[in-house]
Amino acid sequence: MASTGCVGFRLGLIKAFLAVLALTAAVGVQGAERSPPTADHSKFEALKGPFEDATEVTEACLGCHTEAAEQVKGTTHWTWLYDHPETGQQLGKSKVINSFCGMAVTNEARCTSCHVGYGWEDMNQPPPQADSAVDCLVCHDTTGDYWKFPTLAGHPTYVPREWPKGSGKMVQPPDLANIAQNVGASGRANCGSCHFYGGGGDGVKHGDLDSSLVNPPKALDVHMSPEGLDFACSDCHSTWGHNVSGSRYQVEAKDTLGIDVPGHTDMTRTTCESCHGASPHEQQKLNDHVDTLACQTCHVPEFARGGVPTKMWWDWSTAGKLDEDGNPITEYDENGHVSYLSEKGNFRHGEDVVPHYAWFDGTVEYTLIDEKLDLSNPPININRIDGGPDDPDSRIWPFKLMRGKQPYDTELGTLLVTHVFGADDTSLWSNFNWQKALEAGSAMSGMPFSGEFDFVETRMYWPIAHMVPPAEQALDCGSCHAAESRLAGVGGIYMPGHDSNIWLNRIGWLAVALTLLGVILHAIARMIFKGRKHS
């Protein structure tokens, strides 16, 4: 991955994906069948081009899809704001802090390259208002040639441009007319172009979402694999007027509605139960676990299984070291994963990671910029998950537990965010100067900064819901019902095979041992006296 941390080799992957799609079509492998489209976009005069920039394509789209821009602008994909109905917190990508690069607002043009629009350069302002600023193509391109350039606030490049910086590789401007004439429903690669690369690179953030899901083998994801059902993300994350269902701030942790039937239920399909119902197993005892366990707890045995490592530890405190010549350093671990970058500090990556398990009712709270930290009790939770064993709406869920060290204000006792990206004299990645980068981060985010800082250990919960393998690969009973249990310490459950009463065991086995001893002594005495009687 590029040392500036980014979205490098995605084009190649998307092309590989399309090649495989073409191949599977040729040999007649059946995935999910889809209705043929009612429009051939190559026949529309408005899409003939040429287009100077991508906003012109959007204008052409809106010529027919008159309501689409307004719809998109009403979604969190556009606003990056989310008013949490349970906690009252205002969240969203423009508000939350994470354990990766901190905040989007302090690294605008870089982070807003994933905004579903064009030209959002100042996140203290709302996104640009023009309807033509909505990006239709990032979700609807089917050619794989459309790519939002990482540093252009959502635009693709319109001139040949080097990326990654210093690599000598040139990214060519996309053929917007061809792309516009080939638009279609969103596939995995569309959603993945942002969601697989969160946190600055492939697989970094989520653990269960990375480029291996563009064309996954069945063993990695039974639903998304072209060998299997070939689901698009939107087959489960069903949409309503461009609003995509599913939320990481208010997760549906326990779907009691079961199978969603048109006209009867809520018509979203983001939960497993939406299709599989609440008692999907042939064995009743397995169905009995549905009250307590999220489906993924057994059915996603490990995450990051597709060959793409995910970041598990990110220690920002060591960032900024330079070699003797004043150049940034790159180090690798024994698996060839980056373990140190001067820009970012120390990392630990993981593949085939066993999740962390915890009770979860779906509500996620964040430690926001003004919240006082409980520094006597590290690690600091960047987000907190609600729920517990006595709450009927909670179940035990799997999580990626992201850990690391992040800067905080030692005077104010609040988190700090860093201005990491930017060709200016304050960004950490250009200057390797924490003081300046934190001051700039403070100015951009509105987060107060006393000037005094240090680093504190943090952790962040990422619910795991993807990379479901075929049922045979689900955990077996003994993964939890054993002395060494995956759910050891989760609390609030009695697990036969793991839990038992130590006094019952002591007394029980003592009684068995005394009985055996009595029997043996009696038998020995019988043999001795039998001998005597005969003599």
Exactly one of 20, 470, 499, 521 binds other proteins (CB under 8 A); which one?
A: 499
Q: How far apart are CA 414 and CA 436, in angstroms?
A: 18
- Nearer to other proteins by Cβ, of 114 and 298: the residue is 298
The H-or-E segment that residue 203 falls in is: none
Report in angstroms the alpha-carbon separations of 526 from 462, 498, 533, 534. Answer: 68, 42, 10, 12
Q: Are 248 and 234 spatial neighbours (Cβ–Cβ below 8 Å)?
A: no
Per CB under 8 A, the segment of 283-291, 309-317, 403-411, 426-434 that binds other proteins is 283-291
Which of 450, 4, 421, 490 shows the shortest CA–CA distance to 201?
Answer: 4
How far from chain centre, in Å, is Cα 9? 19
Residue with Cβ nearer other proteins (39 or 519): 519
Contact 144, 15 (CB under 8 A): yes
Within its chain, how far is the Cα of 202 from the centroid? Answer: 11
Residue (37 or 478) nearer to other proteins, CB:
478
**Which residue in 38, 283, 377, 535 binds other proteins (CB under 8 A)?**
283
- Shortest spacing between CB 469 and other proteins, in angstroms: 18
Is 482 near other proteins (CB under 8 A)?
yes
Which range in 237-245, 424-432, 450-458, 515-523 contacts other proteins by CB under 8 A? 515-523
* Distant-in-sequence, close-in-space partners of 144: CB < 8 Å, separation ≥ 6: 11, 14, 15, 17, 18, 189
d(CA 498, CA 484): 7
User: Is residue 515 a contact residue for other proteins (CB under 8 A)?
Assistant: yes
Looking at residue 443, the DSSP 8-state letter turns out to be H
Residues 76-105 as x/- pattern, contact with other proteins by CB under 8 A: ------------------------------
- Residue 511 within binding range of other proteins, rule CB under 8 A: yes
Cβ-based nearer residue to other proteins, 185 or 493: 493
Site for other proteins contains 498 (CB under 8 A)? yes
Out of 501, 502, 531, 535, name the contact with other proteins by CB under 8 A: 501
Q: Is 533 in the site for other proteins (CB under 8 A)?
A: yes
Our CB check for other proteins shows the closer of 264 and 533 to be 533
How many CA atoms are closer than 13 Å to the CA of 489, on its beta-carbon side? 4
Which of 137, 294 has the CB closer to other proteins?
A: 294
Name which position in 28, 483, 489, 531 contacts other proteins (CB under 8 A).
483
Q: Does 509 bind other proteins (CB under 8 A)?
A: yes
> How far apart are the two ends of the chain, measured CA to CA in Å?
92
- Choose the binding region for other proteins from 15-23, 156-164, 202-210, 509-517 (rule: CB under 8 A): 509-517
* CA 519 to mean position of chain CA atoms: 62
What number of chain residues touch other proteins (CB under 8 A)? 32
Q: x/- string (CB under 8 A) for other proteins, residues 58-77?
A: --------------------
| Phi/psi at 353 (5° precision) | -85, 130
- For residues 46 and 211, is the Cβ–Cβ distance under 8 A? no
């789209």: which residue's tokens?
61
Site map (CB under 8 A) of other proteins, residues 287-306, x = contact: -x--x---------------
Whose Cβ is closer to other proteins: residue 435's or residue 515's?
Answer: 515
- The CA distance from 141 to 137, in Å, is 5
Helix (H, G, I), strand (E, B) or coil at 457: strand
Which positions ≥6 away from 389 have C-beta within 8 Å? 359, 491, 492, 493
Q: In this chain, which of 26, 496, 531, 535 binds other proteins, going by CB under 8 A?
A: 496
Alpha-carbon gap, residue 373 to 19, rounded angstroms: 50
Which string of DSSP letters, residue by residue, matches 234-256? Answer: HHHS-EETTEEP--SSB------
Q: Establish if 500 lies at the interface with other proteins (CB under 8 A).
A: yes
Task: Report the residue number, 19 or 519, with the smaller CB distance to other proteins.
Answer: 519
Burial class from Cβ neighbours inside 10 Å (0-12, 13-18, 19+) for residue 517 reads: exposed
Q: Which of residues 420-479 bind other proteins (CB under 8 A)?
A: 476-478
CA dist 120 and 113 (Å) reads 9
Residue whose CB is less far from other proteins, 70 or 291: 291
Nearer to other proteins, 332 or 529 (CB): 529
- If binding is defined by CB under 8 A, does position 390 make contact with other proteins? no
Please say which residue, 278 or 412, places its beta carbon nearer to other proteins. 278
Closest distance to other proteins from the beta carbon of 393 (Å): 16
Which of the stretches 62-70, 176-184, 201-209, 519-527 binds other proteins when contact is defined by CB under 8 A? 519-527
Rg of the chain taking only CA atoms, in angstroms:
28
Give the nearest distance from C-beta 494 to other proteins in angstroms: 4
3-11, 146-154, 436-444, 501-509 -> range binding other proteins (CB under 8 A): 501-509
Q: How far is the CB of 3 from other proteins (least distance, A)?
A: 48
Q: Give the per-residue SS3 of 149-202.
A: CCCCCCCCCCCCEECCCCCCCEECCCCHHHHHHCCCCCCHHHHHHHHCCCCCCC
Q: Which stretch binds other proteins (CB under 8 A): 125-133, 135-143, 227-235, 517-525?
A: 517-525
β 364-366/356-360 pair status: unpaired
- Judged on CB neighbours under 10 Å (0-12, 13-18, 19+), 498 is middle
When asked if residue 523 is in the footprint of other proteins (CB under 8 A), the reply is: yes
Chain contacts with other proteins (rule: CB under 8 A): 283, 285, 288, 291, 476-478, 481-483, 494, 496-501, 504, 507-509, 511-512, 515-516, 519, 522-523, 525-526, 529, 533
